[in-house]
Chains A and B, each alone.
Chain A
Amino acid sequence: MSRSSSQRASQVLQGQKRRRRQWLTFLRMVRYGINNFSRNAWLTIAATAVMTITLLIFFATMAAQNVLRDSVDEISNKVDMSIYLKSGTTETDAKTAISQLQQVDNVKSVRFISSDQARADYAEESKGDATALEALNEANNKFSAVLRVSLTDINKTDPLDDFVNNNVALKKIVNPDKKASFSGDRREAIKQIAEWTVLAQRIGLIASGIFIAISSLIIFNTIRMAIFSRKEEIQMMKLIGANKSFIRGPFIVEAVVYGFIAAILATAIGYGMLVLVNNKLGGSGIVLQPTIDLVIGYIGFVLLGMICLGGLIGIISSLFATRRYLKI
């Protein structure tokens, strides 16, 4: 009994000793990795620079996707259908039609604009046009009340068209002289832009995949070259009895440090570029502000994601690169 308990105690002690040794080995690998990083200045700068470019491409790609999406949304929001109602129709008269309209597939929102409001809007829009204002003052014809219907997907208008043509409640109040229209003549142009933007988004996704693959290959080769330049060192370590994980460890730590620094640099540069482009292209229709707000709002997650990505590329590259020198 006492013999078995002493055996158990010795096993526990050995286990503790082994864990302490593993922890010590891990700390040493980290120290060597950081030492290698700080003592190989040129290699460090080159590898960190390439890693920064890789991560910057990734950041820019993600930001561009977001900007494109926001720009499409912005365009979509500007496209709405105007259903002209009989002059003098009030919101109460149109209540049934509005509530039924809101149930139609793909309808995002419905806004009622009274005749007076429509007149006021026109006056506001024609502020610089003296002739138009004069005509407006002299004219006694009343403006039509309008229902402004905006859609979730501007390429899908069939359900709304069907509703406009067939709904009984709407037919009672609709102005028979004015056909419902999609942002007047601009509709086709806007639809075209939206289609092109969706296409650009798809192309951007493919292009960014290719960019990321190429830049990953470049960083892989840079780390491979860095390890190749130290292949004798690896062989020596093997010959004096270092096991594979002890040899690999510092290279992996070094690559993770590249990734860490590169992630911070790439995020800072990427954010700076977004702000700069936003200042230059403000008002051109390209919507950057939500992306900037997103980056700032989730800066912790963005940084963590970039660091994880950089670290992952570094780990995979160094694992592959050291593998060939670690046979026997």
Chain B
Amino acid sequence: MILLDRVTKSYGKDSSKPAINRVSLHIEPKEFVILVGTSGAGKSTLLKLLTREEKPTSGKIVVGGIDYDTLKDRHIPLLRRKIGVVFQDFKLLPQRTVFENIAFALEIAGMTNREIKSTVPKVIELVGLVGKEKQFPHQLSGGERQRVAIARAIVRQPKILIADEPTGNLDPKHSWDIVRLLEKINKYGTTVLLTTHNVDIVNKLKRRVITIEHGKIVSDQLQGSYRQ
């Protein structure tokens, strides 16, 4: 599902300290993978490479069968529609309601209003936001906002869901709610790549844990825990 082969990413002209240094990684379909590492370790850069916000300096990336080497700029939106992304700061459209935020992901793909009206309520129900459809993001709690973001990310039924520290702005209770929701989505067959600093979550989930430090993968455990 996700394949990185000796991927390096350097910023600017200084190639002596790359943000990502010859990283090779293989994630199978339907896997739940947690990516951990200190701030500046290279997690965000890795995710940006996957969403094609950044181009690698060298190496090969293949996601969902798409080889990024042959990917043209005009096809990037199509790639991104196949990957669901959830951010720490939610990145919702502040002027649009819960329903409109979720529907937006379908509208950009050109789905009809009828399809949207039948799909969005199902996802709203899945993330537990029934009754909040007409509210605006500022009227919701942090946990609810993150649910909207997850709903928007999965509404197109992507094969891959990337969650970049989705619990970073939430209290422990809401954090666990979000993690449970991600597990549920994974159970339906979506590959989940989660980055987090939350030791408790990493240790209790007992999932594959990849630790990254100074741009390199230093550990990759199938039922891993947080390395202190």
Partner of B81, one of A25, A232, A241, A328: A241
Q: How far is the CB of A228 from chain B (nearest CB, A)?
A: 15
Select from chain B the residue with minimum beta-carbon distance to A20: B112
Q: Indicate if the CB atoms of A28 and B91 lie closer than 8 Å.
A: no
Q: Indicate if the CB atoms of A242 and B77 lie closer than 8 Å.
A: yes
Say whether, besides A21-B110, A24-B112, A236 and B93 are in contact (CB < 8 Å).
Answer: yes
Q: Which residues on A sit within 8 Å (CB–CB) of B39?
A: none
Contact with A along B92-114 (1 / 0, CB 8 A): 11111000000011011110110
Q: Indicate if the CB atoms of B110 and A241 lie closer than 8 Å.
A: no
Select from chain A the residue with minimum beta-carbon distance to B73: A328
In the A-B complex, list the 4 residue pairs whose CB atoms are closest, starting with the nearest.
A241-B81, A241-B80, A21-B110, A236-B91
Binds B, one of A34-42, A293-301, A306-314: A34-42
Scoring A40, A233, A237, A239 by chain B CB atoms within 10 A of each residue's CB, the highest score goes to A239
Say whether, besides A232-B91, A328-B76, A239 and B53 are in contact (CB < 8 Å).
Answer: yes
Q: Indicate if the CB atoms of B51 and A239 lie closer than 8 Å.
A: yes
Contact with B along A13-57 (1 / 0, CB 8 A): 000000001001100100000011001100000000000000000
Interface, chain A (partner B; CB < 8 A): 21, 24-25, 28, 35-36, 39-40, 232-233, 235-243, 246, 328
Q: Indicate if the CB atoms of B108 and A239 lie closer than 8 Å.
A: no
A-B contact pairs, 25 of them (CB 8 A): A24-B113, A28-B107, A35-B96, A39-B95, A233-B93, A235-B91, A236-B92, A236-B93, A237-B108, A238-B80, A239-B51, A239-B80, A239-B85, A239-B91, A240-B104, A240-B105, A240-B153, A241-B77, A241-B105, A241-B108, A242-B108, A243-B77, A243-B108, A328-B52, A328-B53
Q: Indicate if the CB atoms of B76 and A240 lie closer than 8 Å.
A: no
Please, how many angstroms separate the alpha-carbon atoms of A235 and B89 in the complex? 13
Please, how many angstroms separate the alpha-carbon atoms of A21 and B107 in the complex? 10
B152 within 8 A of A: yes
Please, how many angstroms separate the alpha-carbon atoms of A246 and B110 in the complex? 10
Say whether, besides A233-B93, A233-B94, A24 and B108 are in contact (CB < 8 Å).
Answer: no
Q: How far is the CB of A10 from chain B (nearest CB, A)?
A: 18
Select from chain B the residue with minimum beta-carbon distance to A28: B107
Say whether, besides A40-B95, A239-B91, A25 and B80 are in contact (CB < 8 Å).
Answer: no
Please, how many angstroms separate the alpha-carbon atoms of A246 and B52 in the complex? 19
Please, how many angstroms separate the alpha-carbon atoms of A246 and B78 in the complex? 13
Please, how many angstroms separate the alpha-carbon atoms of A241 and B52 in the complex? 11
Q: Which residues on B sit within 8 Å (CB–CB) of A328?
A: 52-53, 73, 76
Q: Which residues on A sit within 8 Å (CB–CB) of B110?
A: 21, 24-25
Please, how many angstroms separate the alpha-carbon atoms of A35 and B100 in the complex? 11
Please, how many angstroms separate the alpha-carbon atoms of A235 and B152 in the complex? 15
Please, how many angstroms separate the alpha-carbon atoms of A39 and B52 in the complex? 32
Say whether, besides A241-B77, A328-B76, A35 and B108 are in contact (CB < 8 Å).
Answer: no
Partner of A35, one of B53, B85, B95, B112: B95
Q: Which residues on A sit within 8 Å (CB–CB) of B108?
A: 237, 240-243, 246
Q: Indicate if the CB atoms of A240 and B107 lie closer than 8 Å.
A: no
Please, how many angstroms separate the alpha-carbon atoms of A246 and B109 in the complex? 10
Please, how many angstroms separate the alpha-carbon atoms of A39 and B137 in the complex? 14
Q: Which residues on A sit within 8 Å (CB–CB) of B96?
A: 35
Please, how many angstroms separate the alpha-carbon atoms of A39 and B108 in the complex? 21
- Name B86-141 residues within 8 Å CB distance of A: 87, 91-96, 104-105, 107-110, 112-113
Please, how many angstroms separate the alpha-carbon atoms of A258 and B77 in the complex? 29
Q: Indicate if the CB atoms of B95 and A240 lie closer than 8 Å.
A: no
Q: Indicate if the CB atoms of B73 and A240 lie closer than 8 Å.
A: no
Q: Which residues on B sit within 8 Å (CB–CB) of A237?
A: 104, 108
Please, how many angstroms separate the alpha-carbon atoms of A122 and B152 in the complex? 90
Q: Which residues on A sit within 8 Å (CB–CB) of B73?
A: 328
